[in-house]
């Protein structure tokens, strides 16, 4: 989900920076029509793509900022350019018009020739937060620059990876991540173990995986001595405890045991009955039982 949002944000970035392209020119001519992207209303029957772009505005708006140079490319009311922005969130269009400004006024339009704010003195009583807005130093021959503000408050050049990192759900790093996802793993098997750990299997499946199966124990017995698994019992908690403690191992026996736990876990899962969310395992079994994929993996490990 966050990946899709970060990719949509790249289209938003093109629009607000008026990137030279036919699509962006069409958006400005037929959708925005001189209005700010942040304030334009959604029509009654918009296209699917335009609706998705408008729907993401509130999510990404706190991260899109303007670095003031000349002040002529930054909308004073709708863009983020100071700690109180956007100013339109508390100053109504009526008050803006009564003060002699318009909704298209730029930051440069709010500063007089003496370097002072042009807005009415009465606004300081109505909106005390305006007192905290410092006067920017304008540089006439430099254009304002759009920036992406990350979680640390740093202004960065926009990239979809930056957007993803800002929009993604953040949690503490779990201790089993390297036990499930490692360079020699079979991704499909690792995904299944991840589902087991997250307790995300179907209800009837969750009821039957309380203990590691006998096939798992038999396979692990072959590597107990080399991988120091002598204290591992047949409980899932015991197996997971060993996996967490051996998450960063580079020892061959430890890596093979991690692979076996994942492989036997998914085989025990499929042996319990048909499951629509998983296909046949024949191709993966062939690979695991000495196929070229596994041989290449062991060769890479030894090298």
pLDDT of residue 176: 79
Higher pLDDT, 219 or 148: 148
Q: What share of the chain is helix, strand, coil (3-state, %, to 5)?
A: 50, 5, 45
Are the CB atoms for 138 and 76 separated by under 8 Å? no
Are the CB atoms for 262 and 232 separated by under 8 Å? no
> How many Å apart are CA 82 and CA 116, to the nearest integer?
16
pLDDT of residue 221: 47
Q: For 279, how many CA atoms within 13 A lie in the half-sphere containing its CB?
A: 4
pLDDT of residue 51: 94
> How many Å apart are CA 100 and CA 106, to the nearest integer?
13
Residue 95 CA: distances (Å) to CA of 34, 48, 81? 20, 35, 20
Domain chopping of the chain, boundaries: 1-59+156-170, 69-143, 177-302
Which backbone phi and psi does 146 adopt, to 5 degrees? -80, 140
| Token duo for residue 226 | 């080399």
pLDDT of residue 2: 83
Ranking 157-161, 192-196, 208-212, 287-291 by mean pLDDT, the lowest is: 287-291
Q: Does position 137 have pLDDT exceeding 60, yes or no? A: yes
Q: What is the pLDDT of residues 249-294, one digit of tens each?
A: 666 666 766 776 666 555 555 555 555 444 433 443 444 444 434 4
Q: What is the pLDDT of residues 1-59, one digit of tens each?
A: 788 999 999 999 999 999 999 999 999 999 999 899 999 998 888 999 999 999 999 99
User: Strand pairing partners for 156?
Assistant: 148
């Amino acid at each position: 989900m966050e990946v899709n949002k970060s990719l949509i944000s790249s289209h938003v970035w093109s629009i607000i920076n008026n990137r030279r392209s036919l699509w962006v020119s069409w958006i400005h001519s037929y959708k925005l029509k001189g209005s700010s992207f942040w304030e334009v209303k959604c029509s009654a029957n918009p296209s699917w793509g335009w609706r998705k772009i408008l729907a993401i505005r509130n999510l990404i708006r706190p991260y899109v900022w303007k670095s003031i140079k000349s002040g002529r490319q930054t909308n004073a009311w709708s863009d983020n350019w100071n700690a109180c922005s956007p100013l339109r969130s508390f100053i109504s269009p009526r008050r803006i018009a009564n003060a002699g400004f318009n909704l298209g006024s730029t930051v440069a339009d709010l500063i007089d020739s003496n370097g002072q704010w042009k807005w009415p003195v009465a606004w300081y009583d109505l909106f005390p937060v305006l007192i905290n807005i410092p006067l920017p130093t304008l540089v006439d021959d430099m254009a304002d620059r759009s920036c992406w503000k990350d979680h640390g408050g740093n202004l960065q050049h926009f990239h979809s990876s930056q957007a993803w990192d800002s929009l993604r759900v953040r949690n503490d790093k779990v201790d089993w991540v390297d036990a499930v996802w490692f360079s020699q793993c079979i991704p499909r098997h690792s995904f299944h173990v991840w589902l087991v750990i997250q307790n995300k299997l179907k209800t009837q499946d969750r009821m039957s995986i309380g203990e590691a199966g006998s096939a798992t124990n038999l396979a692990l017995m072959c590597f107990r001595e080399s991988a120091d698994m002598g204290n591992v019992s047949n409980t899932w908690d015991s197996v997971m405890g060993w996996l967490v403690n051996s998450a960063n191992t580079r020892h061959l026996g430890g890596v093979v045991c991690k692979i076996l736990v994942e492989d036997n876990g998914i085989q025990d899962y499929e042996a319990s009955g048909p499951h629509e969310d998983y296909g046949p395992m024949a191709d993966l079994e062939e690979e695991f039982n000495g196929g070229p994929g596994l041989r290449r993996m062991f060769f890479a490990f030894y090298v």
